[in-house]
Structure 1
Amino acid sequence: MAEESVFLGFLEEAEHWQLHSRQFPSKVGGKPAWLSQLEIPTISELTCEKCKLPTVFLLQVYAPIPGHDISFHRTIFVFCCKTPDCYLPNDSRCLKAFRSQLPRRNNFYPFDPPSDEPSETDLDPCLLSSGIKLCKLCGCPGQKTCSRCHAVSYCSKEHQTIDWKLCHKTECCKQGPSKAVPSTYLFPESELVTEPEDQQKDSTETVEEEQNDPECSTLADGLAETELEDMAMHETQDSKVFQKFKQRISPEPHQVLRYCRGGSPLWVSSKHVPTEKDIPNCACGSKRIFEFQVMPQLLNNLKVDSPDASIDWGTLAVYTCADSCNRGEEYPTEFIWKQDVTGEQM
């Protein structure tokens, strides 16, 4: 079978209104731009299976399936825990993935493509058109309200406490709109744009530029020349896979996502690679197939570095229903496989 086309994802700045739901964005950080305005994942579905705290929106990929009417609009959402201790090696229980899709004629969006100009409705919504209230802090469904002003909603006691300390303590019961959520809690927001991977591109010049660019951080950063020579002298199967990974991404070192529905991930290690039986079937009974992977380079943009501990991954491979089954306005869960870099690679 011929190798499937791979599309690379990069981060770009965008106006805030361009990343709202009616624009069908692919994006990283900020609040989720929900597709279906109903049946949004509940706080229990969004809870980290390790620490039991709410996960935070990481990214979403707008990925309609051509010729598949029920998937005319289709978005995959990824959430992650912000607790570093939950990031055990090759353990994906701190991650969540959901799929939402709608036909072109639906209850929420016009039949025609969205305008490329902002409108009066392009505000930071805490109330969806369906009537669902959203958490002021994270943008997920909020079942709790502030007991004093009753003006804002929260998904959990933990997020209400955080927002109280950040800003709501000073604005509670006052007239006027609430302040925007400080970026210290949400991940920095950027548009996620894609372009086809050019495998014929000569990587020599790119690698040289990467080595001379102090802001360009890849998995090879920090390796001394002697260490690289030692790796070449004592190359293991694991290091061969790692070298292949670095060589493949070197022409475009700033890529944060690789999209190839039905293809194969680019693994960082020969260890902890899933077999077919490791990928659970969709709830509809269909197999799940690989759709995209989140690259470690994204961590550089999330501003999560800490002198003590930080969230981390080698790569996150997202698998979705091969049939993209029709679940109406629901958000069915999908599957994430987390693979980390092994000690012998570093």
Structure 2
Amino acid sequence: MMMAGDASESERETGVVLGFLEEAEPWQLLSAQFPSKVGGKPAWLSRLGLPELPELLCEKCQLPLGFLLQVYAPIVGFERSFHRTLYVLCCRTPACYTRNDNRCFKVYRSQLPRKNDFYPYDPPRDEEPADSGDEHRLLSSGVKLCWLCGCPGQKGCSRCHSVTYCSKEHQTIDWKQRHKNECSAEASSSSEVPNSFLFPEWELVTEPETHPVKGEESLDSKCLEQVDCASSELEEKELESMAHHESQDSKVFQKFKKRIAPEPEQVLRYCRGGAPLWVSSEHVASTADVPKCPCGANRNFEFQIMPQLLNYLKVDRPDASIDWGMLAIYTCTDSCDQGNKYSLEFIWKQDFSEDQPC
């Protein structure tokens, strides 16, 4: 996940890695390149044990979720997590995005050792492969994927028998958008008609967060520096203390704005084992709010998705819209291996206070 960088003498790294969006060639976002990315279809890491319906249904409207983003985040020193990717999926129904409600999201973790059945032992070359196949429709393991969303789908078109879908809902959407005009016994190539179900696709690139180191820094700046990923206990105590003051929410929101001001385009903040940067003093996750992994280990914070990402997703609507203040992802501290299956992790949705501007 992290691209190493050296801070200058006037700056220090906070331990947080920031994510930004850049355009990339399609081949750079395929599974063999171990990408971090937003939008498009998921680049599945393991070719087996993928989550599928009914696991991938929104818990509110019971419609299939869509792919939001994935973060490649291997863990140094864990052979079973030499390759490791986290996937975030979300509902495409704006009405499901009620205040501080995480039921329209799912997070999954996949990991592989360096020696595995799907990828070469050595790192991939930074060049377009001669033949990458069409991994968004059929995986090398034989798993068929939905032509609309890229998730596992075994439901085939009854006319051409060439395409598959995860659900009747996605088959209906694709039929109206594209497949009605291309369906035939010989149909085998992708349509040029855009897939409006998918979010725009971007590469997610990273760089370390830094703060200035100056003797004449203001008191506010020094306090701000204390709220980094190594100070989760201080963060919780500070928020608890602020809860007794009338201006608590304003202080948290101002802290949020100050922290992101040097890099306002950041769409993600990564710091495994650290603490989120909250947007409000309301609905702050406590240890008791984060369920343990089925293996019995605790879950710790790993990264958060920022509200700035919404600017790139093209989801604005005059009425209800997909929305959040921040999304915090918590993962198993042991990064356990659950029988070569994709492991369900935990997400916490926090919205802006109703008294604060979005």
TM-score (norm 2): 0.85
Q: Could you list the runs of 5+ residues in structure 2 that have no partner in the other structure? A: 1-12, 215-244
Q: Find out whether 1:194 has 2:206 as its counterpart.
A: yes
Native 8 Å contact 2:14 2:209 kept in 1: no
Q: Secondary structure at the match of 2:169?
A: helix
Q: What is the distance in 1 between the residues matched to 2:213 and 2:306? A: 20
- Describe the SS at the equivalent of 2:15: coil
How big is each residue's C-alpha offset from its partner over 1:270-297, in whole Å with a ceiling of 9 and x where there is no partner? Answer: 1100111100000100000000000000
Q: Where does 1:270-289 land on structure 2 (aligned, <5 Å)? A: 270-289=281-300
Which AA in structure 2 matches 1:191?
E
Contact 2:14 2:211 in 1 (8 A): no
Q: What is aligned with 1:223?
A: none
1:262 maps to 2:245: no
Corresponding residue of 1:33: 43
Counterpart-to-counterpart distance in 1, 2:76 and 2:200: 31
Structure 2 residue aligned with 1:81, among 88, 91, 109? 91
Give 2:155's match in structure 1, choosing from 120, 144, 153.
144
1:49-81 CA distance string (max 9 Å, x none): 000000100000000001110000000000000
Instruction: Indicate yes or no: 2:302 matched with 1:291.
Output: yes
Deviations 1:13-53 (A, max 9, x none): 00001000010000000000000000100121110000000
User: What is the letter of the counterpart of residue 21 of structure 1?
Assistant: S
Residue identity over aligned pairs, in percent, reads 68
Q: Please show how residues 23-62 of structure 1 align to structure 2 within 5 Å.
A: 23-62=33-72
1:236 to 233, 247, 252: 247
One-letter amino acid matched to 1:19: L
1:322, CA displacement in angstroms?
0.3
Q: Which residue of 2 aligns with 1:134?
A: 145
- Mean alpha-carbon deviation: is it higher for 283-292 or for 179-188? 179-188
1:80-114 CA-to-partner distances (Å, cap 9, x unmatched) read 00111100100000000000000000010000111
> What letter is aligned with 1:172?
C
Shift in CA distance, 119/308, structure 1 to aligned 2, threshold 3 Å: same
* Residue 182 of structure 1 pairs with residue 206 of structure 2: no
From 96, 100, 125, the equivalent of 2:106 is 96
Which stretches of structure 1, 4 residues or more, deviate above 4 A after TM superposition?
Answer: none
Give the number of equivalent residue pairs. 313
Which segments of 5 or more consecutive residues in structure 1 lack a partner in the other structure? 203-233
User: What is the letter of the counterpart of residue 241 of structure 1?
Assistant: V
- Provide the secondary structure at the position in 1 that maps to 2:123: coil
**Deviation sequence 1:166-194 (CA, Å, 0-9, x none):** 11001001535131562421000000001
**For 2:259, what is the secondary structure of its paired residue?**
helix
Comparing 122-131 and 138-147, the one that deviates more: 122-131
Task: Give the corresponding residue for 2:221.
Answer: none
Contact 1:295 1:314 in 2 (8 A): yes
Change (3 A) 1:123 1:182: farther
Tell me which amino acid in the other structure corresponds to 2:199: F
